[in-house]
């Protein structure tokens, strides 16, 4: 019986295994993961930490036993330490016993994901300093919050995860400060749109410090004395008490380091697999690497940007699932393609929703792409309907009603998912002229007669 081996047991790996099984009932499928948990939705972790999701087990789509009933063998706490492509063998270490075994494969899917980029600041190992990537991280943060009841939290990095965690900490009554090195938060949106979010966060009591670098994290009395906070409770030296930035000292008993991720591509690279942008694994639309019988998918791999045609590294759960499914089908003998993404993303912070797709102004400028911009402010529902909130829509397009290039939305409930209209239009390469009379759904509880999207498009 032919063997499909999968490395990694989260979004991409388990999608690959499940799709391979549906494609080919005769394959032996073995999944190896170095974690104890599999098939979990990391995207739900901020809501587990906040307590909105009571138990971490709710984040797990399927168990090892459920996969076993599908004929998929999942080996948890097994790390793949080497791929030997010429022999079609992987070397696997049992992390409980330390024992090493060789496993032969006919097809291999690499779905090793990404790791949190931990900035090399002094004090990053202090108690009270966290990263957030997996269930173990999430459980540790929630336990720390419940047990120590922190008063002041600093989030280093103002991207989606940092913002979602700002909401989580705020819900616990923790005083939150976001420190972002870039001149704005949500660096993948334009500054004018990010500013709306920033103003909102400030109005909610969340401090936002942009263009500011964290230099070190400190605990204990010495730092207290230096900072002149000697009247406050003093923690032991190994427990976080202050965040030192270029511009000053922020008292903090909880820090989340959230400055981005790096692809786990070292294992692949050592096996002779080609890497691309940002050192992620280079794959084609069938998820094939440069080596025969070896596929890659998810946060360890690149994809194609459908607006520019460029190879990009945009690690997202949505893409990991689709790439995993594609890799699994092809590894099982099918013929599937995943052509790429348009860079769509969405997040919610308290009562504000932010979303983006396609290219922003900086991305157009970097490519010397001439573009025009329109920004509008409108209502999410008919203005007279209870609960109507504000929505800001920004659209970028080629000059003179040409091709749509990108869009960004910031607004209250019901705003964010409107980005999907733009994502669909970008995927199909639509022009502004083609979009002007879209038959978008209307009734007062959902939208004004002219949906804000149409209002924005009709400004061109
Ligand atoms: P991973 O989830 O990183 O899984 C890879 C697995 O492989 C890990 O278990 C890893 O330990 C294991 N592994 C690595 N190397 C080896 C080895 N050598 N041997 C064995 N096992 C190995 N995306 C969205 O689209 N929308 C969201 O709202 C969203 N929110 C998020 C919120 C948070 C807090 C986080 C952390 C992520 C969020 N994401 C979101 C991103 C999304 O979770 C990831 O894109 C997705 O998990 C990627 O799946 P993956 O299977 O490629 O990689």
pLDDT per residue as tens digits for the range 230-251: 456 677 789 999 999 999 999 9
Determine which residue's CA is closest to atom 44 belonging to ligand 1.
Answer: 317
pLDDT band at 221 (very low <50, low <70, confident <90, very high): low
Between CA 144 and CA 50 the distance in angstroms is 12
Residues 274-310 as b or e (16 or more Cβ within 10 Å = b): ebbebbbbbbeebbbbebeebbbbbbbbbbbbbbbee
364 belongs to the catalytic site: no
Determine which residue's CA is closest to atom 31 belonging to ligand 1.
Answer: 43
Residue 230: what pLDDT? Answer: 46
Q: Is residue 441 classed exposed, middle or buried when 0-12, 13-18 and 19+ CB atoms within 10 A define those classes?
A: exposed
Whether ligand 1 lies within 6 angstroms of the CB of 34 is answered as yes
Determine which residue's CA is closest to atom 16 belonging to ligand 1.
Answer: 112
**Percentage with pLDDT > 90 across the chain:** 95
Determine which residue's CA is closest to atom 29 belonging to ligand 1.
Answer: 43
pLDDT per residue as tens digits for the range 276-309: 999 999 999 999 999 999 999 999 999 999 999 9
Between CA 196 and CA 218 the distance in angstroms is 32
- Among 2-11, 26-35, 80-89, 222-231, name the one with the lowest average pLDDT: 222-231
Whether ligand 1 lies within 6 angstroms of the CB of 42 is answered as yes
Atom of ligand 1 nearest to the CA of 38: 9
- Among 225-239, 244-258, 337-351, name the one with the lowest average pLDDT: 225-239
Out of 6, 11, 273, 322, mutate this one to test ligand 1's pocket (max ligand atoms within 8 Å of CB): namely 11
CA of 63 to the centre of ligand 1 (A): 17
- Of the candidates 331, 264, 288, the residue with the CA atom closest to the CA atom of residue 18: 331
**Structural domains of the chain ordered from first start:** 3-38+61-114+262-331 (3.50.50.60), 129-257 (3.50.50.60), 353-457 (3.30.390.30)
Q: Please work out, in degrees rounded to the nearest 5, the angle formed at the alpha carbon of residue 174 by the alpha carbons of 173 and 178.
A: 130
């Amino acid at each position: 019986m032919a063997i499909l081996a999968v490395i990694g047991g989260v979004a991409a790996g388990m999608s690959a295994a499940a799709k391979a099984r549906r494609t080919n009932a005769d394959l032996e499928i073995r999944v190896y993961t170095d974690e104890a948990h599999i098939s979990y939705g990391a995207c739900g972790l901020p809501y587990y930490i906040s307590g909105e999701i009571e138990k971490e087990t709710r984040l797990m789509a399927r168990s090892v036993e459920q996969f076993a009933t599908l004929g998929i063998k999942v080996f948890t706490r097994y790390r793949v330490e080497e791929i030997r492509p010429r022999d079609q063998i992987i070397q696997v270490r049992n992390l409980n016993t330390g024992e090493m075994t060789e496993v032969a494969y006919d097809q291999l899917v690499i779905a090793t994901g990404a790791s949190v980029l931990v900035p090399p600041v002094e004090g990053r190992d202090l108690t009270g300093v966290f990263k957030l990537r997996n269930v173990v991280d999430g459980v540790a943060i929630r336990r720390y919050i419940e047990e120590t009841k922190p008063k002041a939290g600093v989030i280093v990095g103002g991207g989606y995860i940092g913002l979602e965690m700002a909401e989580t900490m705020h819900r616990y009554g923790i005083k939150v400060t976001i420190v972002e090195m870039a001149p704005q938060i949500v660096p993948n949106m334009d500054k004018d749109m990010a500013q709306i979010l920033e103003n909102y966060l400030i109005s909610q009591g969340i401090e936002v410090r942009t263009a500011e670098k964290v230099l070190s994290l400190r605990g204990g009395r010495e730092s207290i004395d230096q900072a002149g906070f000697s009247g406050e409770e003093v923690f032991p030296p190994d427990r976080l008490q202050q965040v030192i930035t270029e511009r000053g000292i922020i008292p903090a008993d909880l820090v989340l380091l959230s400055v981005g991720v790096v692809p786990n591509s070292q294992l692949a690279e050592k096996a002779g697999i080609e890497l691309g942008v940002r050192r992620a694994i280079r794959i084609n639309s069938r998820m094939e690497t440069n080596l025969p019988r070896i596929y890659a998918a998810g946060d360890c791999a690149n994809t194609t940007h459908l607006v520019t045609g460029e190879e990009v590294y945009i690690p997202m759960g949505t893409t990991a699932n689709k790439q995993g499914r594609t890799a699994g089908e092809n590894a099982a003998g099918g013929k599937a393609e995943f052509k790429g993404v348009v860079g769509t993303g969405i997040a919610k912070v308290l009562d504000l929703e932010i979303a983006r797709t396609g290219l922003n102004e900086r991305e157009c400028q970097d490519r010397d792409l001439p573009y025009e911009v329109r920004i509008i402010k409108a209502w999410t529902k008919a203005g007279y309907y209870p609960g109507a909130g504000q929505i800001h829509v920004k659209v970028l397009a080629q000059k003179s009603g040409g091709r749509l290039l990108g869009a960004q939305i910031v607004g209250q409930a019901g705003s964010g998912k409107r980005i999907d209209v733009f994502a669909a239009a970008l995927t199909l390469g639509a022009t502004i002229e083609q979009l002007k009379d879209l038959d978008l759904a209307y009734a007062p509880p959902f939208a004004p007669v002219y949906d804000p999207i149409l209002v924005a498009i009709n400004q061109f």
